[in-house]
């Protein structure tokens, strides 16, 4: 786990889910925790039903946070709808075509007449497969206290079909579960972002590793604890969610796409990512 401030952003980074949950257990607060955060920590040791949504209690949350069935059931129809969408199928055809590029060499099988006439040395076209692109996806689960669990689920139900669609198109995804907030640690930085890697580009999609994204407790207990465990003092209300425009102004914190509340649907996200990849490679 790493904590550092970059300009006006305080970053808290976990390399995997195990590290994330091990370091955010309220029973084992960080020895580095600011002493002024102790009241917040004591509240986290409680068992408030609003914190856990359907799971209702801390114990139930711990039981199901790696249960693949919940997320799979919630997203099954969304995934099918996205993959069957005519717009996605068109995007997929474009992506597969894009992956084969013509590179010109001094020998080959396809003569490019204009290049030959102009006197260029390399006038034979050869098909070359493009390097398998990698995109970094952030699932931003940060929301205010008035946002119910159904709204949080919409974020996951957009993210999962998007990731499926990209992987089907031959685009590797590196996925992070994040919470982008402001005024959480006001004495340290304007913004606070917790980043948890839940899938590397080399790993295939796995419902088990994505299961915590569907649990409200992953945000309202574990993410909250990532902030409270800080050496910096947290504000009394733990700050506010960053707005989409603020995240965009920060160049998405290095992510190709950030999927959050009130965001676009899977097809639009995929289209946006395809466009970014093509511009980068051109």
The pLDDT of residue 113: 52
pLDDT at position 273: 84
**One domain for residues 34 and 173:** yes
Same domain assignment for residues 39 and 150: yes
What tens digit of pLDDT does each residue of 169-199 get? 888 899 999 999 999 999 999 999 999 999 9
Q: Are residues 78 and 39 in the same domain?
A: yes
Determine the 3-state secondary structure of 36 from DSSP. Answer: helix
Task: Tell me: do 47 and 105 sit in the same domain.
Answer: no
The structure's pTM equals: 0.85
The residue to which tokens 């717009």 are assigned: 87
The verdict on 137 and 160 lying in the same domain is yes
Residue 281's closest CA among 119, 147, 129?
129
Q: Are residues 125 and 136 in the same domain?
A: no
The parent domain of residue 29 ranges over: 2-92+131-281
- In this structure, the answer to whether residues 198 and 148 fall within a common structural domain is yes
Q: Cα angle at 211 between 231 and 91, to 5 degrees?
A: 110
Apex CA 172: angle with CA 171 and CA 175, to 5°? Answer: 125
Same-domain status, 66 and 167: yes
Residues of the chain predicted below pLDDT 50:
116, 123
Same domain? For 109 and 49 the reply is: no
pLDDT in tens, 82-91: 888 898 888 7
Say yes or no: 125 and 135 in one domain.
no
CA 237, 218, 20 angle in degrees (round to 5)? 100
Q: Quick one: 113 and 145 in the same domain?
A: no
Question: H or E segment at 199?
Answer: strand 191-199
Average of per-residue pLDDT values in the chain: 87
């Amino acid at each position: 786990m790493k904590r550092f401030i970059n300009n006006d952003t305080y970053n808290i980074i976990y390399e995997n889910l195990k590290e994330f949950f091990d370091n955010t257990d309220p029973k084992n607060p960080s020895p580095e925790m600011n002493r002024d955060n102790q009241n917040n920590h004591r509240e986290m040791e409680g068992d408030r039903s609003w914190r856990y949504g359907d799971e209702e209690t801390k114990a139930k949350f711990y039981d199901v946070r790696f249960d693949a069935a919940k997320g799979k059931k919630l997203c099954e129809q969304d995934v099918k709808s996205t993959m069957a969408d005519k717009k996605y199928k068109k995007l997929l055809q474009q992506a597969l075509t894009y992956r084969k590029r013509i590179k010109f060499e001094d020998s080959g099988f396809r003569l490019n007449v204009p290049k030959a006439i102009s006197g260029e040395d390399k006038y034979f076209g050869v098909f070359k497969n493009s390097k398998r692109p990698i995109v970094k996806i952030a699932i931003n689960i940060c929301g205010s206290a008035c946002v119910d669990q159904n709204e949080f689920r919409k974020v996951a139900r957009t993210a999962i079909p998007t990731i499926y669609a990209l992987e089907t198109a031959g685009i590797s995804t590196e996925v992070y579960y994040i919470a982008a907030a402001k005024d959480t640690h006001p004495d340290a930085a304007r913004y606070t972002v917790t980043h948890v890697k839940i899938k590397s580009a080399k790993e295939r999609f796995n419902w088990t590793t994505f299961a915590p994204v569907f649990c409200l407790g992953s945000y309202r207990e574990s993410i909250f604890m990532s902030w409270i465990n800080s050496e910096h003092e947290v504000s009394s209300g733990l700050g506010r969610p960053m707005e989409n425009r603020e995240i965009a102004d920060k160049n998405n914190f290095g992510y190709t796409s950030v999927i959050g509340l009130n965001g676009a649907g899977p097809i639009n996200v995929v289209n946006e990512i395809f466009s970014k990849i093509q511009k980068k490679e051109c």
